[in-house]
């Protein structure tokens, strides 16, 4: 919102009183004197007036190594939620920027910045997500061709976006998706009658899970990681836009 509107509301002041404060240089936003009444301020702006702190709220961006056996939710009546793993003082403000299934492990992002999270999960951005997949049976070369062409999902009556498969071993591969449909990885391998035994997300966009984090541990994202996830990623191969 505009700075003058914020001040009028927070100080219960008139427009004339607020203008006077601004002219006198009595208002600071993020440490700098603010005189423009139209200056946009957000929920994470630090705002002071006449030396009094009116708003100071930090933006929080976390990387969590999700373990097996917990739900991607802020609260759950039956199972432990991933938020219970976080000891951050602003934990109750956090939400998840994307989800992982109950027994899927790996990179999960948490924040209290809704605009940032929306930039990651917004349909149409085709944010790449890479998973390490272990299967029961051998992964043959035709998997990559089929995944690149797209797999037909009868329930949704659609063909998945092109996906990239890198085979690491007879039953181990890296799969990069540019959308996020219900149990998508398991359903894609299911078209070959090959059950997925374990699934681990290693990266979102250009940000990889920190190898130093044990399952259940978390750390703040670095400033460059925050910026990378906010930026616009490359579109998927052959796609003209897509869904998360």
* Active site residues per annotation: 101
Helix axis angle for 3-11 and 15-23, nearest 10°, is 120
What is the DSSP code string of 102-168? TT-EEEEEEES-HHHHHHHH-TTS---EEEEEEESS---THHHHHHHH--EETTTTEEPPP-EEEEE
In contact, 104 and 209? CB cutoff 8 Å:
no
What does the chain come to in residues? 244
In contact, 128 and 176? CB cutoff 8 Å:
yes
In contact, 178 and 161? CB cutoff 8 Å:
yes
SS3 category, 79: coil
The residues that bridge with 175 in the sheet, in sequence order, are: 131, 165
DSSP element (H, E) containing 199: strand 196-204
From the CB of residue 55, how many other CB atoms can be counted at a distance below 10 Å?
16
CA 64 to CA 72: how far, in whole Å?
11
CA proximity to 114, closest of 90, 92, 95, 88:
95
φ, ψ (nearest 5 deg) of residue 203: -160, 155
């Amino acid at each position: 919102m505009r700075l003058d509107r914020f001040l009028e509301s927070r100080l219960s002041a008139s427009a004339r009183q607020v203008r006077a404060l601004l002219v006198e240089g009595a208002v600071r936003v993020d440490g700098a004197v603010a005189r423009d009444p139209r200056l946009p301020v957000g929920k994470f702006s630090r705002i002071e007036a006449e030396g009094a702190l009116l708003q100071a709220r930090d933006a929080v961006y976390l990387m969590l190594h999700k373990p097996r056996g917990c739900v991607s939710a802020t609260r759950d009546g039956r199972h432990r939620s991933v938020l219970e793993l976080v000891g951050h003082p602003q934990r109750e403000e956090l939400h998840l920027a994307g989800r992982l299934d109950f027994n899927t492990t790996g990179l999960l992002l948490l924040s209290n910045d809704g605009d940032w999270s929306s930039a990651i999960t917004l349909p149409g951005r085709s944010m790449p997500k890479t998973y390490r997949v272990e299967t029961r049976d051998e992964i043959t070369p035709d998997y990559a061709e089929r995944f690149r062409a797209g797999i037909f999902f009868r329930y949704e009556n659609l063909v998945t976006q092109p996906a990239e498969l890198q085979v690491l071993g007879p039953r181990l591969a890296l799969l990069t998706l540019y959308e996020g449909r219900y149990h998508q990885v398991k359903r894609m391998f299911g078209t070959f009658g090959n059950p997925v035994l374990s699934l681990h997300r290693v990266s979102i966009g250009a940000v990889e899970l920190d190898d130093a984090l044990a399952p259940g541990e978390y750390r703040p994202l670095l400033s460059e990681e925050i910026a990378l996830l906010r930026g616009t990623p490359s579109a998927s191969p052959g796609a003209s836009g897509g869904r998360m």
